Amino acid sequence: MLDSATTQVIGPIPTRSPGRRRARGSGVLISGLLALILIGTALFAVAPLRRPLPAPAVTRAVPASMTIPGKAPVVPWPETGQAALMVEGVGSLGRSGGSKPVPIASVTKVMTAYVILTEHPLKRGEHGPKLTVSKERAAAYPAEQSRSESLVPVVAGAVFTERQALQAVMLPSANNMARILAEWDAGSIEAFVEKMNDTAAALGMTNTHYTDPAGYDPGTVSTADDQVLLARRAMKLPAFAEIVAQKQATLPIAGVVRNYNSLVGQDGVVGIKTGSTDEAGGCLVFAAVVKVGGRKVTVVGAVLGQPGANTPVQLARVFRVTRPLVRTAAAAVRVHPVVRAGDQVALVQGPLGAVTTLNATEDLNVVGWPGLRVRLDVDVPEVPARLPAETEHGRIKAVAGGVVSAAVPLRSGVELAAPSTWERIRRHR
């Protein structure tokens, strides 16, 4: 029995309303959905930012090549024989007379001197080692003289420096000194001739064959094109270029000797070598220096097979047909602008539509003549997403005759701006 003093009245136990439970459940669900939507939106917005932007695309706005406008020069080629004409670092002005190998007489000595100087280099003004005339070479002199060969007097035991020997070969065209040099270098004429032919093959002189170091033997044959190729290489040797430009020199025993090439010193002519025999006719490999636009340009050419009854007539003929070639080349070569300062060279398109240009900073000038084909090479490194205005980036080069004749930098136009975060999100919706 319960004590009435401690008895408590206990009412009914309250319960949760079913409606409230449902309301709270719905709120949680809605909150979850909103969270998912917000997360999805964020992920959708962030996704484009995770993708790297492609590099700006560069499109060239100039042609791959162009021809200098105007009337091409008319070259006064000789009526007979072969001829070829080249402007160093620019290109060929052409050739005439075909490409059949023909005797070249003492023009052979260009290869003789080239081999000697590549085997025994000399600096400008340097005399180099000494060589002594052997008894055998001295004894051969009377027989050589009886054949009316071009010679310098020698005696057994005479001493020549390398430079003096080369002067004897290249100025008065001494056949005997060419043979002396050959034996000095290779031990025998036959071994030296082998060197000459190996060198010709290495230089790409495919229509040339040497049988002696002097050119007296008509079996030594070549073409005007091949001789121009050799002359261009030989003129890069300082001592060679120095010697062939001399009008005279003083040698042991002989005293003062003169250059057979009477064109030296006229019309900018600085060499190179004459040649004449009954089989070869009058021959000349020549070089001339002309000034164009503040720079010196070398014209190299060859004329072979000019007729005549004897050496004086043959050489007079070859000089007469060479002068117009030199003067025509000198008159034809000028400075020509192929791209002007400010010209658009390339268009740069950013990944989201931003655009700028790359323009030449100055005139791109080439030395050449009307009708000459010039290649235009555009070199643009990868462009960053942001490229400020007036920023140097890349360059354009003009290539004539396989040689880069000029190059100028490129500069950006308006700023190429990197896209903002909002632009990246908006463009990828």
Give 223's contacts (C-beta < 8 A, 6+ positions apart): 82, 84, 99, 100, 101, 102, 207, 208, 304
Is 283 within 8 Å of 275 (Cβ atoms)?
yes
Contacts of 25 (CB under 8 A, 6+ apart): none
Q: How far apart are CA 195 and CA 115, in angstroms?
A: 8
Q: What string of DSSP letters covers 252-283?
A: TTTEEEE-S-TTTTSTTEEEEEEEEETTTEEE
Q: Is 106 assigned a catalytic role?
A: yes
Dihedral over Cα of 149, 151, 155, 157: its sign: negative
Q: Of 96, 150, 173, 222, which is the active-site residue?
A: 173
Catalytic pick from 17, 65, 71, 106?
106
Which one of 26, 96, 100, 109 is the catalytic residue? 109
Strands 159-161 and 130-132: antiparallel
φ, ψ for residue 23 (rounded to 5)? -65, -45
List Cα–Cα distances, 336 to 73, 326, 366, in angstroms: 15, 20, 5
* Helix spans in 69-188 (H): 109-119, 135-146, 162-170, 175-186
Amino acid, single-letter form, for residue 211 = T
Q: Is 291 a catalytic residue?
A: no
CA distance 284 to 173: 12
- Evaluate whether 107 touches 285 at the Cβ level (below 8 Å): yes
Sheet architecture: strand order including 82-87 = 91-96, 82-87, 295-306, 281-292, 269-277
Q: 135: annotated binding-site residue?
A: no
**173 is a catalytic site residue:** yes
Residue 420 backbone dihedrals phi, psi, to 5 degrees: -75, 170
Phi and psi at residue 245, to the nearest 5°? -85, -5
Instruction: Write the DSSP string, 165-211.
Output: HHHHHHSS--HHHHHHHHHHHHSSHHHHHHHHHHHHHHHT-TT-B-S
Task: Please identify every residue annotated as catalytic.
Answer: 106, 109, 173
Q: Which residues are annotated as a binding site?
A: 273
Q: Which residues are annotated as a binding site for substrate?
A: 273
